[in-house]
């Protein structure tokens, strides 16, 4: 009986430590993600999200692209690197980079400013693809654009791949799904920490 009580107390302590760590991590990534950079950078890198079958942007993705568009119109960036995947069955495999480019063009951004990357299936691939593109373009700073809870992981992987001046601007589009996204981001961050 004494051994069982000791084991239970130990499990409760471990659970409490993990819960505290989860709360600290969530507070950190929320604060980090909502702290927008107000200076200039060479490139805005938009992380992809859902596109509809007609090529229109989901509200989450539109929020990200609108943020990059605002940065460009304010003269904060010279180029926009729109990176996403090849699409899903639900979107009729409409490439996310192309959808973002179409939206930006329709909103007055010149074609020469936009780089559409349709092979950015995840955060790591977006960062890797940007670094490969930038090897011949030599921009020294980027502003990554995504949902607030995603920002810390994006900055981590960009730094890990050798991009030293990484800033951020989070989307102004919020929804109830952000709660789930924030919770999912905790294991996702540690997965990246271990995998890359």
Nearest CA among 46, 154, 156 for reference residue 104: 46
Query: What was the pLDDT predicted at 10?
Result: 87
**How many whole angstroms separate alpha carbon 105 and alpha carbon 130?**
20
Domain ranges of the chain: 2-195
How many residues belong to the chain?
196
List, as one string, the DSSP characters of 7-43: HHHHHHHHHHHHHHHHHHHHHHHHHHHH----S--SE
- Please report, in tens digits, the pLDDT of each residue of the chain (196 residues total): 666 677 888 888 999 999 999 999 999 999 999 999 999 999 999 999 999 999 999 999 999 999 999 999 999 999 999 999 997 777 778 999 999 999 999 999 999 999 999 999 999 999 999 999 999 999 999 999 999 999 999 999 999 999 999 999 999 999 999 999 999 999 999 999 998 8
Q: Are 170 and 148 in contact (CB under 8 A)?
A: yes
Query: What was the pLDDT predicted at 1?
Result: 60
**How many whole angstroms separate alpha carbon 95 and alpha carbon 127?**
17
Query: What was the pLDDT predicted at 2?
Result: 60
Query: What was the pLDDT predicted at 51?
Result: 95
Instruction: Give CATH for domain 2-195.
Output: 3.40.50.620
For the chain, give percent helix, strand, coil, nearest 5. 55, 15, 30
Query: What was the pLDDT predicted at 8?
Result: 84
Q: What is the pTM of this model?
A: 0.92
Nearest CA among 105, 111, 196, 114 for reference residue 155: 196
For 87, other C-beta atoms within 10 Å of its C-beta total 22
């Amino acid at each position: 009986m004494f051994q069982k009580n000791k084991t239970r107390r130990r499990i409760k302590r471990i659970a409490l430590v993990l819960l505290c760590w989860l709360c600290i991590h969530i507070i950190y990534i929320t604060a980090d993600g909502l702290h927008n950079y107000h200076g200039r950078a060479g490139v805005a890198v938009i992380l992809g999200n859902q596109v509809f079958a007609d090529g229109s942007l989901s509200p989450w993705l539109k929020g990200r692209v609108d943020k990059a568009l605002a940065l460009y119109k304010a003269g904060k960036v010279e180029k926009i690197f729109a990176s996403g995947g090849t699409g899903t069955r639900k979107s009729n495999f409409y490439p996310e980079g192309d959808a973002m480019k179409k939206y930006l063009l329709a909103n007055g951004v010149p074609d020469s400013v936009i780089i559409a990357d349709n092979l950015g299936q995840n955060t790591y691939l977006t960062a890797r693809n940007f670094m490969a593109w930038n090897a011949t373009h030599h921009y020294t700073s980027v502003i990554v654009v995504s949902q607030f809870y995603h920002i810390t992981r994006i900055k981590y992987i960009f730094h890990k791949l050798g991009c030293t001046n990484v800033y951020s601007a989070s989307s102004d589009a919020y929804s109830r799904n952000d709660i789930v996204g924030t919770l999912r981001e905790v294991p996702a961050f540690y997965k990246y920490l271990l995998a890359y």
